[in-house]
Structure 1
Amino acid sequence: MSDEWKSADAAGDDAKSWQLLEKTLLASVQEQRRSRRWGIFFKLLTFIYLFVAIALLSPSFDLKGGAARSGNHTAVIEIRGVIADKEAASADNVISSLRKAFEDANTKGVILRINSPGGSPVQSGYIYDEIRRLRGEHPDIKLYAVITDLGASGAYYIASAADSIYADKASLVGSIGVTAASFGFVGAMEKLGVDRRIYTSGEHKAFLDPFQPQKAEETQFWQGVLDTTHRQFIASVKKGRGDRLKDAGRPELFSGLVWSGEQALELGLIDGLSSTSAVARDVVGEKELVDFTVQESPFDRFAKKIGASVVEQAALWMGFQGPVLR
């Protein structure tokens, strides 16, 4: 019996040892998890701290959402790159910049510094209309457009709303036209033996589909849309430029051609050859320039770098693109 008791005691000691070992291992795992969570927390806290520090030290950061100002100045607003929604040169950004510039008590003149190939007729139209509204609301503040390398199509649409337009003698100016581009893959699909199956509710719902043959009546309809947009463009330019346009009846003036600054001056598309600093000094009379351009936050710039709009790019690749002023 003593041997049996000894055996039972030994078994009990082994069970207790295993339980103790199990508790020790569980405690170790829990401690590792806690340590990992705290590590992640402190890394995240460090990242946020560095992000905020960079934002605060960024020259474009302003707690009041405006530019640094000191006395009378000429306000400058950049229109750079494609004019489109969600881009730097979107109507929202440009209009917000314009309003801040006109409402600043020390602004003596506003310069739109333009370097853009054009873009959305809708976005360009929004900016054009707002410029004319602000000019009427603030008649003492003149707005000048200064074209640097390129002021074409939708960019010129916007410029035509200014009191005066200036450019360099070698700038490219004009391109008063409308385009809508796509591709046709019908022949390639036939060679590959691929059938296109598309289901729509509406006879012309898929008329921009690049994988099916074009129809004459749909092509004619789409051309009518572009012609209407073109007429609107021409009317806005004539309204903005008025009698300054020379030979406004010349068909090539509104054919989509682009001219050098020197040629544009002869045609009345611009009013003079000059630069931003020269216009501020000699025309506005205030050489100090203050940039009112809405700046993207560091977070927005970071987000744009790490994420691309797959849906938008796919839509463009598939050929679903609206009219563009280019």
Structure 2
Amino acid sequence: MRRFLNRLLPKSMRSEAVTIPVIRLHGTIMAGGGQFRPSLSLATTASLIEKAFAYADAPAVAISINSPGGSPVQSRLIYKRIRDLAAEKDKKVLVFVEDVAASGGYMIAVAGDEIIADPSSIVGSIGVVSASFGFTDLLKKVGVERRVYTAGKNKAVLDPFKPEKKEDVDRLKALQLEVHETFIDMVKERRGSKLKDDPDLFTGLFWTGKKGLALGLVDALGDMREVLKDRYGPKTRLSLVSSPRGFFARRLGFFGSSAPADIAGQAANGLLDAAEDRALWGRFGL
């Protein structure tokens, strides 16, 4: 009861330090990931989010976001878990953008009751993108014949080793439009009248935090420590929520029971993952 009454007092009259749990959601967003490519997904973030909202006396949860996006499904699942717990625990959610909160990263950011960004942060990119490669002539050059057998005429659509078909591309774009509409609805629901009437807002463009403030994509400019101490008093303590892994857990998690060939395969896949990861960050000059 004393702590509850203490929170009602002006910050200058508070007798106790307020502790604010902090979650760092940094990285690309996608299901899976692994040792060679740490990523954000509901599976990798759920326990952190639960722990942060378990701070009974904390008036708010602070979330640091630094993500160029990724899976729209995982982005929405993380967003929903944050909002569900915020309602259940009756806590305010303050989101702080570091380098970038774009695409799926911004989808997670709108889970915040307030979004605070650095003036030079990148925000926005409210759109959907699919990227792949075409290898239609590669197999001929290396003398390899590819054999694919399917049941169902559409089971091998957008095969990277075959020329594109217009109907396949049209089908993909239709799916993208549906996902894009869901994204737009989420942003409008959470940001509401704060959003400015700008024709470029939902085109996939992105802006600095300073411009994002003018567009209504963020609420303020600043950094986490300064904002939290100003809001909850100079004695405010930031408690980073993490899931540390011990020495043996790290070793077992990496090697497990895999044979050397499996580890080599994981490493090869890791190189491809790293290239894709680099491309996501590269879109924003990072």
Please report the TM-score for the alignment, with normalisation by the length of structure 1.
0.68
Q: How has the CA–CA distance of structure 1 residues 276 and 238 changed in structure 2, closer, same or farther, with 3 Å as cutoff? A: same
The partner residue of 1:93 within 19, 25, 44 is 44
1:94 touches 1:293 (CA, 8 Å); kept in 2? no
Shift, 1:195, TM fit:
4.0
Distance 2:245 2:115 in 1: 27
Pick the aligned partner of 1:175 from 107, 125, 134: 125
Q: Which has the higher helix share?
A: 1
How many residues align? The count is 248
Task: Provide the identity percentage.
Answer: 41
User: What secondary structure does 1:75 align onto?
Assistant: strand
Residue 228 of structure 1, CA deviation: 1.1
Alpha carbons of structure 1 residues 188 and 123: separation in structure 2 relative to 1, 3 Å: same
Are 1:235 and 2:185 counterparts?
yes
1:196 aligns with 2:129: no
Which SS does the other structure have where 2:132 is aligned? coil
- For the 8 Å contact 1:164–1:271, the answer to whether it is kept is yes
* Partner residue of 2:28 out of 58, 73, 82: 82
The 8 Å contact of residues 109 and 284 in structure 1, kept in 2 or not, is answered as: no
Partners in 1 of 2:247 and 2:89 — Cα distance?
33
Deviations 1:115-170 (CA, angstroms, capped at 9, x unpaired): 1111211111111111221222222x211100011111111101111100001100
* Gap change, CA 1:91 and 1:308, over 3 Å in 2: farther
Does the aligned pair in 2 maintain the 1:75–1:111 contact within 8 Å?
Answer: yes
Matched to 1:143, the amino acid is V
1:115 alignment counterpart: 66
* Divergent runs of 4+, >2 A: 84-90, 92-95, 187-197, 283-287, 293-314
C-alpha separation between the residues in 1 aligned to 2:246 and 2:172? 39
Q: CA deviation at 1:176?
A: 1.1
Instruction: Classify 1:304/1:266 alpha carbon distance in 2 versus 1 (closer, same or farther; 3 Å).
Output: farther
Secondary structure in 1 matching 2:123: strand
Residue 159 in structure 1 maps to residue 109 in structure 2 = yes
Q: Does residue 1:206 correspond to 2:156, yes or no?
A: yes
Long gaps (5+) in structure 2: 1-15, 33-37, 256-262, 274-279
CA-to-aligned-CA distance 1:199-244 (integer Å, 9 cap, x gap) = 1111010113200111111111111111111111111111111111
Supply the distance in 2 between the matched residues of 1:203 and 1:260 (Cα, whole angstroms): 45
What residue ranges of structure 1 are gaps of 5+ in the alignment? 1-69, 318-323
CA distance in 2, matches of 1:92, 1:196: 36
The alignment yields a C-alpha RMSD, in angstroms, of 2.8
Which deviations, in whole Å up to 9, do the C-alpha atoms of 1:254-283 show, x marking residues without a partner?
111111010000000000001110121123
Q: Report if aligned partners of 1:161, 1:241 keep a CA contact under 8 Å in 2.
A: no
**Matches of 2:193 and 2:245, distance apart in 1:** 39
1:73 maps to 2:23: no
- Which residue type is aligned with residue 84 of structure 2? R
The answer on 1:310 being equivalent to 2:266 is: yes
The more displaced of 113-122 and 260-269 is 113-122
* Deviation at residue 190 of structure 1 after TM alignment: 4.5
Separation in 2 of the partners of 1:202 and 1:253? 40
Q: d(CA) in 2 for partners of 1:253 and 1:295?
A: 39
The TM-score, its normalising length taken from structure 2, stands at 0.77
Letter of the aligned partner of 2:51 in structure 1?
K
Per-residue deviation at 1:297?
Answer: 4.3
Q: Which residue of 2 aligns with 1:45?
A: none
Q: Which residue of 1 aligns with 2:13?
A: none
Secondary structure, aligned partner of 1:131:
helix
Q: Which residue of 1 is the match for residue 236 of structure 2?
A: 287
Deviations 1:10-47 (A, max 9, x none): xxxxxxxxxxxxxxxxxxxxxxxxxxxxxxxxxxxxxx
